[in-house]
């Protein structure tokens, strides 16, 4: 037993108690005749005191030799502090040390172990074990644990069973790229790591397991965008004998439970919005509804004049920026530059100032009079003092551009309060989306998603218009979960594979087991998966997921701490019946 107490629990109630503590030297202050050492562990910091009067000379000397991050064990007496620190849990006491053991020394860490460290991202990742000693990272990992415990206990008490599905499965070219695992025992063959346990959870439903969940690692070999990880964690859920309404209610319940237990926030019934409405009102299928700035479409009121940019556009659409009329000309010019950046890609931006006196001043006064601009204000909900920003072009592109502007402005205006939570169901997603590169339809969600039953016929004439029983759960502008009602009969599944360009042979080779299963009494079923990394980050009031992952990889998919991936032995390759095939 290395310690009787931890470094976060001693108070005046313990005065005169003999205690043993162990931990790391956070810092020490040496006044010559007196030394204070802050001893840190997972639970807090306790101040140690050594002085000429009350400590032995030997121990005082020993204390002087302690460096930052040394691991020590001390025995001593809890005494009341002369000058108390009300900000610390243990701020009323200190330990008069009678015995000091250095358990391990430490080199000087490459960055400070403080809440605001001087270490850059790359260095922190390389020494992640030191980074984890910092409060923000440690607290994020503990926070993640609390969330998963809440999830597991809530779902378990609701009759859900956590079932482990396999990690060594089969590669399927549909969807993202698989990570594969060569099989030594089956020459020339490969397992794949799951992109999700999708087919297995469906087979569990066929198996009668009825309410399933799993907190599970998933893998995608994609070129990494910022804040994406090749391995990530899902809260994967599936239910049988349910319709969409049942699923939305079940997981709205879970989300509401988390918001209450984790964040202390009570949220009303989650609003719902169709995909089409979300695109129209926010230009985005995961709108942040903590604030307004809804889109106002201006085609009808702006396309009757001689302004050709608008006349030729598929969509003219604007937002009202609250109090935006206070922006200087220079500031507005910067906004225009911002939307013209390649990451956003607008060709330009039209704006109209809404003056306090009810008059308007626009960048296109040549074409639009006060009456026109009043209609713009009405369509965008602009009030006196606001600024109307208008973009135009192809519908999909201009929506994405204006949505980016809306989010950027909200960020600048402080409208994205991380302590406020605005969940939203987006429903009725399209079943298919057209892929320009391959010139065919892809499943928007995945090929197991059920079309709206009444629209199956429409697949033949207008596939792009068919909606699916598919839904996303959006929180503060982030998709935190998504799912669908699945196809559960072989004929519809075969039809879907056909529409997605699979030959019957390909469909059978890849998903024959699932289609076979559908012939043996598959119940109606559906589900949802939460992205745990993102969910935890948002509940924790953060936008980046990296501090909520103990050992994240960088944007090249490398673990810079352990230096992986790495070359392997030739023997290993030979055993796997593989050769490198490198173009150099």
Q: Which parts of 508-567 interact with a copy of itself (CB under 8 A)?
A: 512-513, 517-524, 549-551, 553, 556-559, 561-567
Site for a copy of itself in 399-458 (CB under 8 A): none
Among 210, 261, 297, 506, binds a copy of itself (CB under 8 A): 210
Asked whether 444 and 175 are in contact (CB, 8 A), the reply is no
- Beta-bridge partner residues of 46: 39
- Residue whose C-alpha is closest to residue 488's, from 102, 201, 268: 201
**CB of 170: closest distance to a copy of itself in angstroms?**
4
**Subset of residues 12 to 71 that bind a copy of itself, contact rule: CB under 8 A:** 22, 24, 40-42, 69-71
Who contacts 245 (Cβ-Cβ below 8 Å, separation ≥6)?
A: none
226 near a copy of itself, rule: CB under 8 A = no
Candidates 49, 93, 100, 130; binder of a copy of itself (CB under 8 A) is: 130
Contact string 77-116 vs a copy of itself (x = CB under 8 A): --------------------------xxxxx-x-------
Considering only 56, 189, 263, 303, the residue that binds a copy of itself (CB under 8 A) is: 189
Q: Residue 62 and residue 75: Cα distance in Å, rounded?
A: 14
Question: Rounded distance, CA 367 to CA 373, Å?
Answer: 10
Assess 223 for contact with a copy of itself (CB under 8 A).
yes
Quick one: 41 or 372, whose CB is closer to a copy of itself? 41
Q: Which of 241, 361, 383, 412 binds a copy of itself (CB under 8 A)?
A: 241
126 vs 255, beta carbon nearer a copy of itself = 126
Q: Which stretch binds a copy of itself (CB under 8 A): 174-182, 352-360, 410-418, 446-454?
A: 174-182
* CA–centroid distance for 403 within its chain: 19
Please choose, from the candidates 72, 134, 67, the residue with its C-alpha nearest in 3D space to the C-alpha of residue 107: 67
311 binds a copy of itself (CB under 8 A): no
Binding of a copy of itself by 171 (CB under 8 A): yes
Does 152 contact a copy of itself by CB under 8 A? Answer: yes
CA-CA-CA-CA torsion sign (409, 415, 419, 424) = negative
Closest distance of CB 389 from a copy of itself, Å: 39
Q: Which residues of 52-63 are buried (b: 16+ CB within 10 A; e: fewer)?
A: eeebeeebbebb
Kindly tell me which of 214 and 284 has the beta carbon lying closer to a copy of itself.
214
Please report, for residues 126, 205, 505, the alpha-carbon distance to residue 510 in angstroms, rounded to integers and kept in the order given.
40, 19, 9
- Residue 235, helix vs strand vs coil: strand
Site size for a copy of itself (CB under 8 A):
126
Residue in 92, 69, 141 with CA at minimum distance from that of residue 552: 141
Give, as one character, the DSSP assignment of residue 33.
S
Residue 169 or residue 444: which is nearer to a copy of itself going by CB? 169
Report in angstroms how near the CB of residue 567 gets to a copy of itself at its nearest: 6
d(CA 13, CA 124): 39
Nearest to a copy of itself of 226, 580 (CB atom): 580
- CA distances 348 to 207, 322, 340, 393, 394, Å, are 56, 21, 6, 10, 13
- Considering beta carbons, is residue 13 or 550 the nearer one to a copy of itself? 550
253 binds a copy of itself (CB under 8 A): no
Report if residue 209 touches a copy of itself, rule: CB under 8 A: yes
Residues in region 476-515 near a copy of itself by CB under 8 A: 488-489, 512-513
Give the whole-angstrom CA distance, residue 237 versus residue 215. Answer: 9
Q: Where are the beta strands (DSSP E) in 355-500?
A: 360-362, 387-393, 423-427, 432-435, 440-443, 470-475, 478-485
Closer to a copy of itself by Cβ: residue 68 or 452: 68
Instruction: Work out which of 4, 11, 99, 166 binds a copy of itself, going by CB under 8 A.
Output: 166
Three-state SS at 477: coil
Find the shortest distance in angstroms from Cβ 416 to a copy of itself: 28
Nearer to a copy of itself, 454 or 520 (CB): 520
> Binding segment for a copy of itself among 208-216, 361-369, 461-469, 474-482 (CB under 8 A)?
208-216
Tokens 């928007």 sit on residue: 444
Q: Coil, strand or helix: which one is 546?
A: helix
What is the C-alpha separation between 400 and 417, in angstroms, rounded?
Answer: 22
Picking from 360, 332, 370, the residue whose alpha carbon sits closest to that of residue 348 is: 332
Structure token pair of residue 287:
């709108």
Residue among 221 and 276 whose Cβ is closer to a copy of itself: 221
Please give the biggest Cα pair distance in the chain.
Answer: 93
One residue of 154, 191, 282, 291 binding a copy of itself per CB under 8 A: 191
Which H/E stretch holds residue 541? none
The smaller minimum CB distance to a copy of itself, of residues 51 and 139, is found at: 139
Among residues 35, 74, 204, 350, the one that binds a copy of itself under rule CB under 8 A: 204
Q: Which stretch binds a copy of itself (CB under 8 A): 57-65, 209-217, 279-287, 368-376?
A: 209-217
What is the DSSP secondary structure assignment for residue 7, as one 8-state letter? T
Which range, of 124-132, 302-310, 409-417, 446-454, touches a copy of itself by CB under 8 A? 124-132
Which residue of 37, 49, 78, 193 would you call a contact of a copy of itself, by CB under 8 A?
193
Cα–Cα distance measured from residue 518 to residue 496, given in angstroms and rounded to the nearest whole number: 14
State yes or no: residue 203 binds a copy of itself (CB under 8 A).
Answer: yes
Is residue 518 within 8 Å of 488, Cβ to Cβ? yes
């Amino acid at each position: 037993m290395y310690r009787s107490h931890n470094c976060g629990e001693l108070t005046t109630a313990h005065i005169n108690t003999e205690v043993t503590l162990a931990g790391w030297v956070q810092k020490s202050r040496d006044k010559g005749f007196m030394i204070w050492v802050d001893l840190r562990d997972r639970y807090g910091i306790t101040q140690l005191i050594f002085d000429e009067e009350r400590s032995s000379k030997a121990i005082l000397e020993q204390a002087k030799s302690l460096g930052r991050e040394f691991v020590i064990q001390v025995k001593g007496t809890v005494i009341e502090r002369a000058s108390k620190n009300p900000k610390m849990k243990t701020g009323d006491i200190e330990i008069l040390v009678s015995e000091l053991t250095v358990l391990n020394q430490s080199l000087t860490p490459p960055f400070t172990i403080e809440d605001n460290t001087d270490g850059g991202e790359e260095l922190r990742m390389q020494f992640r074990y030191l980074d984890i000693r910092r409060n923000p990272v440690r607290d994020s990992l503990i926070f993640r644990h609390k969330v998963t415990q809440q999830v597991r206990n809530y779902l378990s008490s609701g009759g859900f069973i956590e079932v482990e599905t396999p990690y060594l499965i089969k590669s399927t070219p549909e969807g993202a790229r698989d990570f594969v695992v060569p099989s030594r025992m089956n020459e020339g063959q490969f397992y794949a790591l799951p992109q999700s346990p999708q087919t297995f959870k469906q087979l569990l439903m066929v198996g009668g397991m009825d309410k399933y969940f799993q907190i599970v690692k998933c893998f995608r070999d994609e070129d990494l965008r910022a804040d994406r990880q090749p391995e990530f964690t899902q809260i994967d859920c599936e239910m049988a004998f349910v319709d969409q309404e049942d699923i939305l209610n079940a997981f709205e319940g879970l989300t509401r439970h988390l918001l209450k237990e984790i964040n202390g926030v009570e949220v009303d019934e989650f609003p719902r919005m169709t995909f089409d409405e979300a695109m129209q009102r926010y230009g985005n299928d995961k709108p942040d509804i903590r604030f307004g700035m809804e889109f106002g479409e201006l085609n009808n009121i702006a396309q009757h004049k001689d302004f050709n940019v608008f006349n030729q556009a598929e969509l003219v659409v604007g937002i009202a920026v609250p109090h935006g009329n206070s922006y200087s000309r220079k500031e507005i010019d910067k906004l225009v530059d911002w939307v013209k950046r390649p990451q956003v890609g607008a060709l330009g931006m039209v704006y109209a100032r809404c003056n306090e006196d009810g008059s308007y001043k626009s960048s296109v006064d040549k074409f639009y009079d006060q009456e026109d601009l009043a209609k713009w204000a009405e369509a965008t909900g602009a009030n006196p003092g606001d600024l109307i920003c208008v973009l135009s072009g192809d519908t999909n592109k201009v929506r994405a551009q204006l949505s980016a502007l809306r989010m950027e402005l909200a960020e600048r205006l402080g409208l994205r309060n991380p302590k406020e939570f605005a969940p939203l169901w987006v429903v009725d997603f399209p079943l298919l989306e057209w892929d320009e590169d391959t010139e065919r339809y892809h499943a928007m969600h995945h090929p197991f998603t059920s079309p709206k039953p009444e629209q199956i016929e429409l697949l033949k004439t207008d596939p792009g218009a068919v909606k699916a029983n598919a839904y996303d759960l959006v929180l503060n502008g982030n998709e935190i979960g998504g799912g669908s009602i699945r196809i559960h009969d072989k004929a519809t599944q075969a039809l879907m594979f056909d529409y997605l360009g699979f030959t019957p042979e390909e469909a059978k080779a890849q998903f024959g087991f699932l289609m076979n299963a559908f012939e043996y009494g598959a119940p109606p079923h559906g589900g949802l998966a939460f992205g745990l990394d993102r969910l935890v980050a948002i509940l924790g009031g953060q936008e980046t997921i990296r501090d909520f992952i103990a050992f994240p990889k960088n944007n090249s998919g490398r673990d810079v701490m352990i230096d992986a991936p790495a070359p392997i032995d030739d023997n290993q390759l030979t055993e796997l019946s593989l050769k490198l095939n490198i173009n150099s």
